[in-house]
Structure 1
Amino acid sequence: MLYKHILLAIDDSPISYAAIAHAEKLAIALNCKVTVTSVIAVDPFKGVDFYKVAPAVTQYLMEAEQNVQNRLKDVQETLIHHGVSVVETKIVRELPPATGILEAADELNADLIVMGSHGRTGFKKFFLGSVAQEVLSISPLPVLIIKSVNELE
Structure 2
Amino acid sequence: MTTYQHILVPVDESPISYAAVENALTLAKLLNSQVTVMSVVAIDPFVGVDFYKVAPAITDYFMQAEKNAKERLEDIKQSFVRDGIPVDVKLVHGVSPTEGIIQVANEISADLIIMGSHGRTGIQKMMLGSVAKNVLTQSPIPVLVVKI
Partner of 1:27: 28
Q: Residues 80 and 87 of structure 1 are in contact (CA less than 8 Å); yes or no, is this contact kept in structure 2?
A: yes
Aligned pairs for 1:1-153 within 5 A:
1-46=2-47, 50-51=51-52, 54-81=55-82, 83-148=83-148
Letter in 2 for 1:100: G
Q: Residues 46 and 52 of structure 2 are in contact (CA less than 8 Å); yes or no, is this contact kept in structure 1?
A: no
Gaps of 5+ in 1: 149-153
Gaps of 5+ in 2: none
What TM-score do the two structures reach when normalised by structure 2? 0.93
CA RMSD, aligned part only? 1.5
C-alpha spacing 1:62/1:147, structure 2 compared with 1 (3 Å): same
CA drift of 1:47 comes to 7.2
Counterparts of 1:115 and 1:74, CA distance in 2: 17
Partner of 1:151: none
Q: Residues 35 and 88 of structure 1 are in contact (CA less than 8 Å); yes or no, is this contact kept in structure 2?
A: yes
Tell me the number of residue pairs that the alignment of Structure 1 and Structure 2 aligns. Answer: 147
Greater CA drift, 25-34 or 52-61: 52-61
What TM-score do the two structures reach when normalised by structure 1? 0.90
Letter in 2 for 1:62: M
Q: Residues 27 and 84 of structure 1 are in contact (CA less than 8 Å); yes or no, is this contact kept in structure 2?
A: no
